[in-house]
Amino acid sequence: MTVTQQGRTPARRASARCSTAASLTPYLFVLPAVFFVVVFLLAPMLYTFWQSFTDADGLRTPNFVGLRNYAELFTSSNFTLSLRNTLIWVVASVVLPVSLAFAMALALERVVGGNFFRTALYLPSTLAAAAAGVLFSFIFDPTSGVLNAALGALGFDSLSQTEWLFRSPLNTWSMIATYTWQSVGANLMIFLIGLQSLPREPLEAAKIDGASGLKFTRLITLPLMTPYVTIASLMAAVNGFKVFDLIWVMTQGGPARSSETLVVTMYREGFILFHQGVSAAIAVVISLIALAFSYFYLRNVMDKESHV
Amino acid sequence: MIKLTKSFPLVLTLALSVAAAQTLELYNDKPDWNSNYTKVGDLGAKSGAGFKGVTFADPSTYQAAVRTSLSTSKAPAMFTWWSGYRMKDLVESGTLQDLTPIWQKYQKAGEYGSDLAKAFTFDGKIYALPNNVAYWAVFYNKKAYKDAGITPPTTWAQLESNNAKLKARGVTAFGQSVEDRWPAFIWFEEFLTRQDPDLYERLMVGKAKYTDPGVTKVFTTWKSWMDKGYFTPASTGFGSGGTNGMAKLFAQGKLANILAGDWYTATIAGTGLKPGEDYGVFILPTMNAKAKPVIIYEASPLIVSKNAVNKAQALKVADFWMSAKAQTLWSNLQSFTPVNNEVTVDNPVTKELTSALSKSKPRLINRIWEATPTEIIEPGVDELSKFMLDPSTQSQVQANLQKLADAYWNKQK
C-alpha cells in the first residue's frame, strides 16, 4: 500500500500541480482587471452608498444620519425640478440625436457627395463638450450672438432679444439643441455602418415585390436596423443622464437652478455646498434610475428580438 | 560606470524632488493673479522665503481639493480662501495654523492696524494673513460722464439724477449680472447698506428677516431702477469675457458705471482703458444724506495649514508676506489698496480710492458672501438671480430667502 502510494505520488503530484496551475491561469489573467474594477469601481460605489447615510462634509468625521439625506432630497423642490430636467434631457437626447441621425443616414445613402456630408456632420462629435458649450454660448448670446442677429435680419424682431440661456425651460432646450448638434454625428456613423452591413437578399426581394419610399424604410429597413437603433438609443439615454460638462459651461445649472439636472445638482451639493452626504444620495438615485432604465429597456428590446 | 549610469536617473529624480519639495507652493483659485504670486515668491527667495503660485481654474474644484486635503499630510502649506463664515468651518476643523504671533510683530511695528485682523479672528486667535482687502466702489467712465455733463455723485439724489441723464443719452447707468451666480448679491447688499446699514448687519446674523419692510424697500428700489432702464439686462457678463462683458460695454461707453471690488481695475485695464485718464472711482453715496458714508469690504485670507509637511517654511513665507517689501510689490502688481501702512501704490485709481477712504472714513461693512452663513447665501444668490430675471417674483424670493435663513438659524438654537 505504502509502496504503491509512494510509487504514484510524484506523478500524481506533478499532475495535480499541472491541473492546479491550469485552473489558476485564467484567474491570473483576469486578476488585473478584477483589481481595477474592485478598486476603482466597486469600492467607490460602496463608499458612496455608505456616505449617502452620513453628514459627510469633507472636513469632519462623518456621522450616521440614516435616511435623512434621502428624505431631504425627496421633499426639495430643487430636486424635483432637477429630476424633471433630467427626464427632459434623457427623452430629448434619445429622440433628437438618434432619429435625426437615422434620417440623415438614410438620406446620405442616396445623395451625391455623401462623403462630404458624412465628414461635415461627424466633425462636431470630435469636439469636447466643453468647447461646444463655449461656442454655443457665443451663438446664444442675447446681445450680440449670431442667432439673435440672424433672427433680427430675417425680420423676427420680437425674437431677436431672446435670452436663450437665461429663461427656463428655454435654456434647457437651447442646451439640448447644442447637444444634438454635437452628438448626431456619432449616431450617424452607427447607422451608416448598420445600413452598409444589412443583408442584401431581403432588401432586393422587397424591392422586387414593389416596396419603396417610406413603406420600404418602415417595413424593411427599420426592422433590420433594430439592433443598431437599440444600441444607439441606449447609449443616447445613458449619455443623456450623464451630461454635465455642457451644462456646467453654458449655465452652471442656472439661472436660479432652473437648468440643473441630477448630475449638476449632485456636483453642486458635493463641491459647492459640501453636503457630500446629500451628494452621495443623489449619486445613488441616479445610479438606480439608470440601472432600472437600462434593465427594462434591454429586457423589452431583447424580448421583442427573440420573438422576431 | 555601469552602476553610475543605472543609478544616475534615480539620483537625478531624487535631487529634483528634493528641489521641488523646497519650493513652497501657494495654492489659489485666481489664475489671473498666479504669476504675480510667483513674482512676490521670487523676491522672497532672496531672503529664504521663496514660493510659487499653483492655481486652479475652477473655484469649486479648488475648494474640494483644499478641503479634502487639510486634515492630511498632503495639505497645501499656504492657500487662499474666503473669510467670515466660509473660513469658520475650516477653523472649527482644527486644521489651520494660528498666525497671531506674526500679526503681533507687525502690529507692534505700526505696519498694520488692529481692525484688519478682525476678519480673520476666531476666539481671539488670528488664522490668516491679508491676501487682499478689497473695497467695493463705483468705477465710472469719464467720457460718458463728460458727454452727459455730470460729475461723480455725492448724494443719492444726485446719483438718481445722473442715472436719468445717462439714460437720456442712451447710456446704461449701471451693470448688473447673474453670470456665475454670485454677482447677483452685489446690488442687494449695496442698496441695503446705503438705505440702512444696521438692518443689513442684523440680517446677516439672523436678527432681522428678509421679509421685513426695510428689505422689501430694497427690492422696490432695485425694481424701480430696472424699470427705469438704469441697469443692464441681468444676462450681461460680469467680467470682460463673452460678447457682452460688462467691462467691454464700459470700455465702449455704452455703460457708465460698474460697481465692483477694487480688484476689478485689472479687468478694466484688460480692455485698454487707462486708470485716472479714462476712468475714475467714487464711493456709492448713502440714501440718507446725513448718514455716515458706508462701503462694503471683502477681506480675502491667506492661510497656513497646520498639517502641512513644510509648515516651518510656510511660516517663514508668512512673515515675509506681511513685510512692507512684499506688500509693496504685491499691491503694485495687483493695483490693490495697500493693507500695510508703509506701502504706497502707483495706480491713480487705487490712489483715488485710498484718498476717498481716508477722507470720508466710511463705515466698513463686510460683504454678504462672507458676512452671512454659506448655507443661506449660496442658495440665496439663486433666489436673487430669480428676482433679477423676473422682478414680479419679489415676494416669493423674499419668502424663500427667509425660509433659507430660518432653516439655518433654527439649527443653531
Q: Which of B234, B244, B382 sits opposite A141 (nearest CB)?
A: B244
pLDDT at A192 over 70: yes
Q: Report yes or no: A109 and A283 within 8 Å, Cβ to Cβ.
A: no
What's the average model confidence in pLDDT over A67-72? 94
B392 at A interface, C-beta within 8 A: no
The number of CA neighbours under 13 Å toward the Cβ of A293 is: 19
| pLDDT at position B5 | 43
What's the average model confidence in pLDDT over A46-53? 96
| pLDDT at position B32 | 82
pLDDT at A74 over 60: yes
pLDDT at A273 over 80: yes
Q: Tell me the pLDDT tens digit for each residue of B296-310.
A: 999 999 999 999 999
Q: Report yes or no: B40 and B132 within 8 Å, Cβ to Cβ.
A: no
**Is there a contact between B64 and A271 if contact means CB atoms under 8 Å apart?**
yes
Sign of CA dihedral B120, B122, B125, B127: negative
Query: Which of A165-174, A213-222, B80-89, B194-203: highest mean pLDDT?
Result: B194-203
How many angstroms separate the CA atoms of B305 and B81, rounded? 12
Which residues make beta-bridge pairs with B297?
A: B135, B366
Residue B69: other Cβ atoms inside 10 A: 19
3-class state of residue A54 by DSSP: strand
Q: Which DSSP state fits B294?
A: E
- Residue at B115: amino acid letter: D
Q: Quick one: pLDDT band at residue A59, thresholds 50, 70, 90?
A: confident
The dihedral over CA atoms of A252, A255, A261, A264, expressed in degrees to the nearest 10, equals 30
- E strand intervals along B164-267: 172-174, 255-261
| pLDDT at position A305 | 61
Mean confidence (pLDDT) of chain B? 91
pLDDT at A10 over 80: no
| pLDDT at position B267 | 87
pLDDT at A256 over 90: no
Q: Which of A58, A60, A142 sits opposite B235 (nearest CB)?
A: A142
Q: Report yes or no: A186 and A125 within 8 Å, Cβ to Cβ.
A: yes
pLDDT at B16 over 60: no
**Is there a contact between B90 and A163 if contact means CB atoms under 8 Å apart?**
no
**Is there a contact between A165 and B68 if contact means CB atoms under 8 Å apart?**
no
How many angstroms separate the CA atoms of B383 and B406, rounded? 15
How close B42 gets to chain A, by Cα (Å)? 33
Q: Quick one: pLDDT band at residue A111, thresholds 50, 70, 90?
A: confident
Tell me which residue has cell 500695510: B340
Residue A18: other Cβ atoms inside 10 A: 10
3-class state of residue B255 by DSSP: strand
What's the average model confidence in pLDDT over B331-351? 91
Q: Report yes or no: B280 and B152 within 8 Å, Cβ to Cβ.
A: yes
| pLDDT at position A8 | 57
**Is there a contact between B385 and A254 if contact means CB atoms under 8 Å apart?**
yes
Tell me which residue has cell 440643473: A260
What's the average model confidence in pLDDT over A261-265? 95
Q: Tell me the pLDDT tens digit for each residue of B212-241.
A: 999 999 999 999 999 999 999 998 988 766
User: ipTM of this model?
Assistant: 0.77
Q: Report yes or no: B120 and B87 within 8 Å, Cβ to Cβ.
A: yes
Sign of CA dihedral A157, A158, A161, A166: negative
**Is there a contact between A58 and B386 if contact means CB atoms under 8 Å apart?**
no
Q: What is the DSSP string of B123-175?
A: TTEE--EEEEEEEEEEEEEHHHHHHHT----SSHHHHHHHHHHHHHTT-EEE-
